[in-house]
Structure 1
């Protein structure tokens, strides 16, 4: 008991350590992935926002230039110069303005009269533009080394050019991109403005967009260092996620343990209260003549857990030490079945699966004899199926022989269930007085395609005949399998080809409709 308790506590401790590590790693993964997706989407959204802001700003620039051309003349009097100075003073973008004529010569500026010809490339772009406008990034003695130029020619033939520091064009980007984002704004092939990440690291991912009308391009990016700096800022969120996931996993684990343990108690209660159902699957003579038989199979629908598989019930019964009680419950239900339908079940034997270790117990034969007295309908018609699972040792072998002889003396038949899948082999059959040998469905399923399986079954069939044992093929589901076992000389078959396991009333109906008297 102490050893079991220690194992239980150790299992709980291991589960807690595992959940702690798993939820920590998973929380870190979720945080890292979530931050990556967030930054990727955020960068894309901010780049789109920047494109819209730049487009709006460029539209405002050329609206301003158009207003200047509408109010200008082909002269450079003091009045014209004052007007240009006033426009540049109130302009949110330009620090200097100039006017050019139809020959694309700048003749007047906010600094006074001037005579400068525009570059041919600028003239060409103005003439080829639908809006008769263009921008450029050139060196300027007035504003510094790198200057943003905007050109516009009005319908009256008068053109205006504005000079602005690049920062006045790109300043809007600084309000859109956070300090740890980097970007580079280019005009043509020259950099109009840029902001590099403060830390020297490689780029994690980037986004790009272009304003084709203005030959502008914007590349924005997030560096690895910026990503990890943000990741550590999310550490409180990570810890919260870790705690929540740990609690969730612990609750699920506890519920699972509760489910298993509650299912364990439900199985125990169902066996003690005889609440487990018994279905019956017919064993049919292969040529339609001869004795019919059936196998009793457990089925259980738990009100709390739904349909529970028979192997799980057997496994749980063994762990609970209730496998014998389960066996006696099934045998008693078979006896009650005979008592309820004496006419329909006349001449039909029913087999019940029995655990080999149960047979080795001293009280087994005595309890069986008591049940036969309680249900005399079972005498001569009950058969026990023993699965060939393991080799008996030198101590158990004579005990098992004695048990089998006692059982046979009670008028109970014996069958080898699932023969060929265990370890006992042919010597197993020679030592015990079995009446029936049941070929496992594993062999039946591969009988058609496997010549080696066919040879094995041929040998089994020959041995069974030599030992005066009847043969039953389990798991026959198709007509080709039926024909194959028929060719081997098998006496009877059991499987879905004829009938699945049915409740009492349904199997009685099936017998009445199909059994040849």
Structure 2
């Protein structure tokens, strides 16, 4: 059993190494490409989310400024300063508020009264803005660093400015971007805030989003460094996937080999490729003045299954619908045998087994005629042994009679094979013009000891002779069986007692030896 499996599935180190190499390379490439396209999509999605978050925060800032600037009673008394300080205390982003009048003079902050004018560039941007707002980066004494200023001029002429640390804006971007992505938030050409990630190396992708109402721009970068960090973290998954791919490839490979090397597929290819052999077993004439005959028998040695039983070949061929192809293969090889050994076989007939249901097929007789034209050496020498497998129904019976007439018209002899074991009865012999009746070896084996069998075969032999049919006894393996067959009056014998089925070269030697023996008599 193990030897058969080793033939079906050869343990090739080269195949296994190839699968391992393919699995590793494919896993590396697949994860590399998958990660690359994943990051491209991820950076786009995250940048859009960061922009939405930032825009939402800027809208909230504007609402907060409007709530302060739209109060026309604001001045800079203690109550107003206290109100600004309260707004600063509750503001999530601003550290200082200021008020400016219609002339853009700042007159009040939460630190007290003030009197200075806004920069002209800021004034120009407020005036140019349809919503009377703008932003700026300035040096802040309050924060001790650069500050982010937002300006809004209310409908009543009172303006509000809010001062915030730039990092507060960055927090709304950070929540959507992982630490591996680098980003820069700029106001005009000035950078408001960044996450400090290194963007000096190779950049695999860059996404830019703008907030036009605020003159702000968000640029997000995908550094190569981050890509390789992510790729290295995926090594356990890559290894597991490579193992899975190796197992999958191996399973597919062995399944494909098993399918191709399974018996049905091997038989199918052997028939298609004309790879099967034909052996010949002599039908010996007990009359020394008569010539012998041969029966063509299919034989096949599979490179994967060894010597396959002829019964298995026929059974599988029937299941695959290739039984007719198998028949044509044998007949053509018989024709080639005649052509290559014309002198030796000129007086010898050769019979081929045919399933009875093949004869019923409409195209059997026309195809047989074409084969006979292809191999004219077969005319007058070919015989068909019809195997009785099932009983004929009322529809098949007239069809079979018609087929027999066509076959007989081609000068082909007909034999009923394995008579007595199938469905061929005595009435069946009267209906069909058989030339030969072959007694099954089951009866020959019990002929000596079973009186009933002897009586039956005596009657059958007598009937066959009355119908001008030759009788052949199959399965004669011992001398006592031969003597019992002689007593029945059977003159043609087939069996291991004389010769077993032989390949072409050996059957030629046997025929040559028989001719030499007869010539000496």
- TM-score w.r.t. structure 1 length? 0.55
Conservation of the 8 A alpha-carbon contact between 2:88 and 2:97? yes
Q: Does residue 351 of structure 1 match 2:351? A: no
1:270: Cα distance to partner? 9.4
SS for the counterpart of 1:231 is helix
2:419: which partner in 1? none
> Aligned equivalents of 1:169 and 1:234: distance in 2?
33
Conservation of the 8 A alpha-carbon contact between 1:180 and 1:198? no
Q: Does residue 138 of structure 1 match 2:158? A: no
SS for the counterpart of 2:94 is coil
1:69: which partner in 2? 69
Conservation of the 8 A alpha-carbon contact between 2:93 and 2:164? yes
Larger Rg computed on CA atoms: 2
> CA-to-partner distance for each residue in 1:363-410, whole Å, 9 max, x for gaps?
xx9x9997448699597799xxxxxxxxxxxxxxxx99xx9xxxxxxx
Conservation of the 8 A alpha-carbon contact between 1:184 and 1:194? yes
Please provide the CA RMSD for this pair.
Answer: 4.9
Conservation of the 8 A alpha-carbon contact between 1:65 and 1:160? yes
> Aligned equivalents of 1:53 and 1:115: distance in 2?
36
Kindly report which structure 2 residues correspond to 1:202-221, keeping only aligned pairs within 5 A, or say none: 202-221=202-221
> Aligned equivalents of 1:304 and 1:139: distance in 2?
96
SS for the counterpart of 2:204 is strand
1:239: which partner in 2? 239
CA change 1:111–1:82 in 2 (3 A) is same
1:157: which partner in 2? 157
> Aligned equivalents of 1:92 and 1:254: distance in 2?
67
1:46: Cα distance to partner? 0.9
1:163: Cα distance to partner? 1.1
1:128: which partner in 2? 128
1:14: Cα distance to partner? 2.1
> Aligned equivalents of 1:352 and 1:14: distance in 2?
50
> CA-to-partner distance for each residue in 1:93-136, whole Å, 9 max, x for gaps?
11111100111111111122111112222222222323221112
CA change 1:267–1:352 in 2 (3 A) is farther
1:179: which partner in 2? 179
Structure 1 residue ranges without an equivalent (≥5) = 277-299, 356-364, 383-398, 404-517
CA change 1:269–1:10 in 2 (3 A) is closer
1:19: Cα distance to partner? 1.0
Conservation of the 8 A alpha-carbon contact between 1:186 and 1:193? yes
SS for the counterpart of 1:130 is coil
Kindly report which structure 2 residues correspond to 1:183-198, keeping only aligned pairs within 5 A, or say none: 183-197=183-197
SS for the counterpart of 1:97 is strand
CA change 1:353–1:218 in 2 (3 A) is farther
Conservation of the 8 A alpha-carbon contact between 2:133 and 2:153? yes
SS for the counterpart of 1:176 is coil
2:46: which partner in 1? 46
1:208: Cα distance to partner? 1.5
CA change 1:216–1:76 in 2 (3 A) is same
1:199: Cα distance to partner? 8.2
Conservation of the 8 A alpha-carbon contact between 1:72 and 1:80? no
> CA-to-partner distance for each residue in 1:217-243, whole Å, 9 max, x for gaps?
111122111111111111111112112
> Aligned equivalents of 2:29 and 2:46: distance in 1?
25
1:323: Cα distance to partner? 6.8
> Aligned equivalents of 2:317 and 2:74: distance in 1?
98
Conservation of the 8 A alpha-carbon contact between 1:51 and 1:209? yes
1:29: Cα distance to partner? 1.3
Kindly report which structure 2 residues correspond to 1:52-451, keeping only aligned pairs within 5 A, or say none: 52-71=52-71, 73=73, 75-197=75-197, 201-262=201-262, 267=267, 327=333, 332=352, 349-351=369-371, 371-372=382-383, 377=408
1:345: Cα distance to partner? 7.0
> Aligned equivalents of 1:304 and 1:45: distance in 2?
62
> CA-to-partner distance for each residue in 1:448-483, whole Å, 9 max, x for gaps?
xxxxxxxxxxxxxxxxxxxxxxxxxxxxxxxxxxxx
1:32: which partner in 2? 32
SS for the counterpart of 1:163 is strand
CA change 1:354–1:257 in 2 (3 A) is farther
Aligned residues: 339
2:305: which partner in 1? none
- TM-score w.r.t. structure 2 length? 0.54
Conservation of the 8 A alpha-carbon contact between 1:135 and 1:149? yes
SS for the counterpart of 2:371 is strand
Structure 2 residue ranges without an equivalent (≥5) = 277-313, 337-350, 387-406, 414-503, 509-521
> Aligned equivalents of 1:46 and 1:146: distance in 2?
27
